Structure 1
Amino acid sequence: MQNYLQSVKLFFKRFLIVLIIYQVCRGLFLFFNRNNFNDISLKSTLGGLHFDLSAIGYINLLFALFHFIPGNFKNKPRYQKVLKISFFIVNLVFILTNFVDFEYYKFTGRRSTYGMITASGMENEIGGLIFSFLAEFWHLPIIAIVLAVLFWKVIPNLKLSTEQSNNKLQILKQSGVFILLMGVVFLFGRGGFQKKPIKIVDAVNYGSINQSAFVLNTPFCILKTIGKKETLEIPNFYSEEELNAYFNPVFENNPKEDATKKNVAIIILESFGRENIQRGQTPFLDSLITKSLYFENGFANGKLSIDAVPSTLSSIPSLMNHSLITSSYSINEIYGLPKILKDNGYNTSFFHGAFNGSQNFDQYCKVAGFDNYFGKDEYDGPESFDGTWGVFDEDFFQFYCKKMGTFKEPFFTTIFSISSHNPYTIPEKHKGKFPKGLTKIDESVAYADYALRLFFESAKKQDWYNNTLFVLTSDHTSSEQIEDKFKTNVGKFRIPILFFNPGDKTFGGLSYRNMQQIDITPSIIDLLNIKTKMITFGKPYKSEKDFVVYYLDNIYHYIDGDYYMAFDGKKAIGLYNFKKDELLKTNLLQSEKEISTKMENFIKAYIQSFNTRLINNKLVL
């Protein structure tokens, strides 16, 4: 029995070592993302311990079995050697996934899941990206190697006594201990005695919404999403009649005037956050804003590039842990801007200077109804590969402009830039030409702004220019924020959105209404006087409605007027006046009952409508 207990003690010693390493990883995560977290509380730290115990419990359930199972065979040197090496390798692999988020969190704003770790939709780029990331973040592999060596050295070995025999009574006692301790480890894994195992969303119970990523660990998020396709559930908050009273996604446009037949060009700028355009890095975009209808309160509907495309072009937000493009609903029929304009005689095309197939944009273009897709393979121009993603913006924008001249009018095009994406490479001939700015991205933002200026200089010379409506927006904000107001769950979604109509000098102005990516499609339809009926989760910019909805860390984020609400899928967990309280310090959930109730009714209906239509493939009337 003594040797059996030594094996039990050995497991828990090893378990404790792994638990300590998880705390080290959380400390490193906080260090590398220190600008994103303020006032970390003891409650958040204890919450992190809770999620660490869960991840380690699940990962080591099999090792617990191998340590606790009765019998002397466990004492053999070969058995112990294999057990130790296996324990080391399996736990190290999961521990090192935390290292991904030391830097990647800056881009996504959440802990990585299985889909992110496996780089779904980025198979072509992943080779170049790995090498560029290793070169840029060389310190992370070094820290990982040091940690791995220390981990191996501190893993204890089994210490045996001279006792070897096991009688029936000892086997019976060992069996009882085996059942009890396996139950304990399983309990660690599920997170306690509650009815359901802890989930990613439960992290909000341990502090402010902004601290969820600190509370969580990457292995836990991977385990909770591995092998799972995105499957939504239909909440039964309301009857169909009540549902439509609170939110009806059917948009019917019946213009009194004839369709304008203007060309439409949507330009999606990589990582151009609202904060990035106030540092003097974007002189051309700044000048364009003064000639456009500009929305001061513009918001992205996601934190990833892959979220931005269906939001902007199909008016479908990303209210899931996977983007619509990579989810199990990716081939749902949709009736968005490409099909609507195509039905009205437009030639439609999508341009993206990255590798063909990048982020599954080519697949999305087929579902969305684009006539043509132009990627790196179709590029025709001077040699211009950036070494990682694809064609530099400067040359791909010129290719874009040239191709636009070959399209029969009216045409609809979309271009997605790439150069202001990590590793923020700019052409050698321009090194030292642009201001470095305050963060790593700023120089490449200035270069992208320069590429944009050259494009418009070329476009002005074309016959189609004055008959074209240009819409400029960003896919999401950048990875680093300097001002505290841009670090909140409101601020880190703020992006520029503007409509530029060079053929109409009277069109423009500054709007303070809340505008989001999913509002772009119905707004364009309204501006073009197109008669149509569609499903949209946004609204035209002229609408009296003033809402914005996005999703992050299993929380629905909802803005209406001056107020921001965080909703966990069942209940509101925070309400703030984000215009007066930019840092979201004062939770008004209890003091503003009327506003809270009204907003909660809307977001419940919005979620129910969204989930119902995606599950039942009813995004088309």
Structure 2
Amino acid sequence: MFNNTLRILLLLLATALLSKFSITALNPYLATQLFSSEGAYSLWWGLRLDMTAATALATPVILLLLVIHLGGSRPSLVKPLLFVAGLWLILTTTADAIYMLEAGRHVTFEVFTGSGLEQGLIATALTTYIAQTLTGLGLTLLLAVAIWKLPLGATPGQVSQPHAARKARWPAAAGLLLVWLAVTATAVRGGWSDAPQSPMSAYKIGDPNQAALAWNAPYAITYYLTKGKKRAAQQQTPPPSSQDMALLAEYLRSHHQQALELPTKQANVLIVLLESWPAADLASYAQSIPGAAPPSAAPYFDSLRQQSLTTNALYADGYRTVEGMFASFCSFPNPIGGGVAGTQLQGADYYCLPRLLKEQGFDTHFIQGSGKGIVGSFAQSLGFTHSYGKSDYDFAGTENYWGYMDDDIYRFTLDKLASLTGPYLVTVNTGTTHDTYLPSEDDYIFGKENRAALRRNVIHSADGALQRFLTRLPEVLTEPTLVVLMADHTASVEPNDLERNAIPFLMFATDGSVPTQTRPISAGQLDIAPTIIDWLGGQVPWFTGQSLLAEQYNGFAHYSDGQTVHWIEGKHLVQFNATAIDLEHSSTTCFEIANNGLALTPDSCANEDYGNMLRRAQAYTRYTQSLLFAGKTRDFAELLSKTTEQ
């Protein structure tokens, strides 16, 4: 019995380790580190998490083994359940690795936010990440063979032993069960010398890159499924100190007023979320990147940018559509390392742009070409009255694995706009760039040799659809309309400098009320809602960004990756650990940003400017995270005002 238990545990642990190593080796950004001394240490450090996953999944197998042992049946009857446990290790590791390449981080509570998207996710794995998929299949076959040959033999004569002999085995079985439960509890808890561990304990290794190797996907996914979606989001930051509040109040005093000013302009707002567009693929952003840059993937957007209000750079606050939506519509940062949608935070009383405009008589609509899923429901939780997905389209069109492509999404949008009288807020989430599929081989003008080429192909196709849409747009507009074009996030982008978060952005008004200008600033998605409300003649004190129409821009860009916060002011970037309780332990790194808003040059954090940035960034992050998790984002300016009065 003991030998069988040990064999089961070792097999599952070996499956976890082999899956992690094999799948991670296919990640071009982690492979080099994997085969290094740091990588070896990371794997060793993460062994405690691997043991947690192995023991937790082995427990039901061991319990079944005990029942079989006491009943006198053959131990090999546990093999089907053992295969299911091993298969879970392989599937979750593979899925997490693919998600890491797509979104730039591991799966945590997002296991609850993919409902209705399974077909698209599977298609993406089979078409874009073939190596990972085939490796997962190979590991599954290897597991099946290993279990088939695993010697789980019965003690000679065990099956034919009489009832009395089987009853005599109860004390030994009970003792083994108690030992096993103690081992499992210790492994899941992560020992007894500290607070119980969680999947985020991987970051205790002290380096985000090493944490990526130490991470155990089966444990993380199982953990959050067990915890439940209402408990998945966790605050990572300490509460703000009185010094944080005073510093932040002084910093934001110049452009944050205390009174809510409702919009006075009866006009329309049209926002197009350019799914997954990275600024690095556009010549107007990347033209100054060293080396021979390929032709722009979006020449129309480049030309339109010269006729619009834009910024030198704009950075996404997250890596998923729902995260870009929250930052842009609510002007508030996402939870550190994650998002609001699908967690307990989604039900909080946020007062974001769609809700505010809806209460002022605006007709609010959210349009996408895929299934409505979490994105559509999240849009409605932010204040959009109407949400449309592919099931609402009354015509046949061209579809990829996710749903309708951009030309048909824009066709649906034009029909909807023609039926509205205004004022309205309409947001369109595009779909062509959600996949690598294009209808004709002639559309693959950049080839198919790598992911970058595939990404640029679909962006070029989407750029053409955008041109056709904006050409027809005047036909359905009867009132002045503000048009905002902006990516929600990037995807499948190499983690070079700021390329993963730099997104294209421009805006113009059909009545000419927005100046044609490229503002020499580094802005963020937090600035979008304040800019729109400013154009409409209003002001919202709990929006934490700043209007891009302000004469003196004094804003910043913000985003987080794991527990690391990135804070940008002008041409400077500060990175720090959000969980640090003081400056000394914040693991700060500093960079100077190139003129293209993409390339970084390491700089000394001893510079006083970086020190001031770090203190502002820490104060802002702690304060906003505390409000976010308390569901009191509307108190942002009011509490700062009280701090100033004291």
Question: Whole-Å Cα distance in 1 between the matches of residues 519 and 209 of structure 2?
Answer: 28
User: Residue in 2 aligned with 1:84?
Assistant: 79
Structure 1 Cα separation of the partners of residues 264 and 243 of structure 2: 33
Alignment correspondent of 1:455? 469
Paired residue for 1:58? 56
Task: Letter of the 1:567 partner, please give it.
Answer: N
Residue correspondence of structure 1 range 263-412 to structure 2 within 5 A = 263-278=268-283, 279=294, 280-319=296-335, 323-355=339-371, 357-361=372-376, 363-381=377-395, 383-412=396-425
Q: Matches of 1:292 and 1:459 in 2, distance apart?
A: 16
State how far apart, in whole Å, the 2-side matches of 1:604 and 1:155 are.
52
Out of 122, 128, 136, the residue aligned to residue 130 of structure 1 is 122
State which of 443, 458, 461 in structure 2 corresponds to 1:444: 458
Find the aligned partners of 1:478 and 1:439 in 2 and give their Cα distance.
13
Q: Which residue of 1 aligns with 2:289?
A: none
Matched, 1:500 2:500: no
Alpha-carbon offset, residue 242 of structure 1: 5.9
Distance 1:343 1:177 in 2: 64
Structure 1 pair 198–590 and aligned structure 2 pair: CA distance change class (3 A)? farther
For 1:617 and 1:61, the matched residues in 2 are separated by 46
1:619 is displaced (CA, Å) by 8.7
Name which of structure 1's ranges 271-280 and 556-565 shifts more when overlaid on structure 2. 556-565
Paired with 1:258 and 1:537, the residues of 2 have a C-alpha distance of 18
Question: How many residues in Structure 1 have an aligned counterpart in Structure 2?
Answer: 596
**C-alpha displacement of 1:62:** 4.2
Shift of 1:298: 1.3
Query: What TM-score do you get using the length of structure 1 for normalisation?
Result: 0.83
Q: 1:236 & 1:480 partners in 2: Cα distance?
A: 32
Write the deviation string for residues 503-534 of structure 1: whole angstroms up to 9, x where unpaired: 4387133334332222200111123322x444
Mean CA deviation greater in 554-563 or 172-181: 172-181
Amino acid at match of 2:507: F
Q: Do the aligned residues in 2 keep the contact of 1:348 with 1:413 (CA within 8 Å)? A: yes
Q: Could you tell me which residue of structure 2 aligns to residue 246 of structure 1?
A: 248
Relative to 1, partners in 2 of residues 1:511 and 1:11: Cα closer, same or farther, differing over 3 Å? farther
- Contact 2:2/2:176 (CA < 8 Å) preserved in 1? no
User: Which residue of 2 is the match for residue 567 of structure 1?
Assistant: 577
Q: Conserved in 2, the CA contact under 8 Å of 1:386 and 1:426? A: no
Q: Secondary structure at the match of 2:194?
A: coil
CA distance in 1, matches of 2:618, 2:446: 45
Distance 1:178 1:126 in 2: 38
Amino acid at match of 1:328: Q
How do 1:478-557 residues align onto structure 2 when only pairs under 5 Å count?
478-481=491-494, 485-486=496-497, 490-504=498-512, 507-530=515-538, 532-541=539-548, 542=550, 544-557=553-566
| Residue 396 of structure 1, CA deviation | 2.0
Question: Shift of residue 500 of structure 1?
Answer: 2.4
User: 2:286 — aligned with what?
Assistant: none
SS of the counterpart of 2:468? helix
Q: Is residue 417 from structure 1 mapped to residue 430 from structure 2 by the alignment?
A: yes
8 Å Cα contact 1:352/1:374 also seen in 2: yes
CA deviation after TM superposition for structure 1 residue 578, in Å: 3.0
Cα distance change, pair 259–11 in 1 and its aligned pair in 2 (3 A) = same
Match in the other structure for 1:198: 197
Aligned letter for 2:519?
S
Query: How far has the Cα of 1:446 moved from its partner?
Result: 0.9
Q: 2:628 aligns with which of 606, 610, 621?
A: 610
Look up the match of 2:619: 601
8 Å Cα contact 1:64/1:185 also seen in 2:
no
- Give the SS at the match of 1:224: helix
Structure 2 vs 1, CA of residues 556 and 161 (structure 1 numbering), >3 Å: closer, same or farther? Answer: farther
Alignment RMSD: 4.0
TM-score scaled by length of structure 2: 0.80
| Aligned-partner Cα distance in 1 for 2:237–2:587 | 20
The residue type paired with residue 306 of structure 2 is T
Q: Deviations over 1:443-496 (max 9, x none)?
A: 11111111001011112455548x322111111112232xx524xxx5422212
Residue in structure 1 matched with residue 108 of structure 2 by the alignment:
113
2:291 equivalent in structure 1? none
Rate the CA distance shift 1:434–1:239 in 2: closer, same or farther, 3 A.
Answer: same
Q: Is the 8 A contact 2:70 2:169 kept in 1?
A: no
Aligned residue in 2 for 1:143: 138
Q: 2:28 is aligned with what amino acid? A: R
Whether contact under 8 Å (2:109, 2:233) holds in the other structure is: no
Q: Return the offset for 1:159.
A: 6.3
Closer, same or farther: CA 142–239 of 1 in aligned 2, 3 Å: closer
Distance 2:205 2:603 in 1: 17
Match of 1:426 in 2: 438
Q: Deviations over 1:119-157 (max 9, x none)?
A: x3542x434653564455363563244233233245332
Work out the CA distance in 2 between the residues paired with 1:77 and 1:173. 14
Contact 1:557 1:567 (8 Å CA) reproduced: no
1:3 is matched with: none
Say whether the 8 Å CA contact 1:243–1:609 is kept in structure 2. Answer: no
Code of the aligned partner of 2:203: V
Aligned residue in 2 for 1:94: 89
Structure 1 residue 172 displacement after superposition: 7.3
Q: What's the CA shift for 1:594?
A: 5.9
Render the CA deviation track for 1:161-192: whole Å, top value 9, x for unaligned: 68999999998788666645543343222223
Q: 1:31 and 2:25 equivalent?
A: yes
Q: Give a deviation string over 1:408-433, Cα, whole Å, max 9, x none.
A: 244322111011112x22234x7436
> How many Å separate the matches in 1 of 2:55 and 2:26?
27
Paired letter, 1:44? S
Residue 576 of structure 1 aligns to which amino acid in structure 2? T
Q: Aligned equivalents of 1:76 and 1:342: distance in 2? A: 66
Mapped partners of 1:608, 1:257: distance in 2: 27
Contact 1:574–1:588 (Cα < 8 Å) also in 2: no
In structure 2, relative to structure 1, the CA distance for the partners of 1:63 and 1:379 (3 Å cut) is closer
Q: Supply the AA of the counterpart residue of 1:440.
A: L
CA distance in 2, matches of 1:368, 1:258: 18
Query: Secondary structure of the residue that 1:515 maps to in structure 2?
Result: strand
- For residues 84 and 584 of structure 1, the distance between their equivalents in structure 2, rounded to whole angstroms, comes to 55
Q: What does 1:34-49 align with in structure 2 at a 5 Å threshold?
A: 34-35=28-29, 38-40=32-34, 41=38, 42-49=40-47
2:29 is paired with a residue whose SS is: helix
With over 3 angstroms needed to count, the CA separation of the structure-2 counterparts of 1:257 and 1:44, relative to structure 1, is closer
User: Aligned with 1:198: secondary structure?
Assistant: coil
3-state SS of the aligned residue for 2:327? Answer: helix
* Mapped partners of 1:242, 1:10: distance in 2: 57
- Helix, strand or coil for the counterpart of 1:500? strand
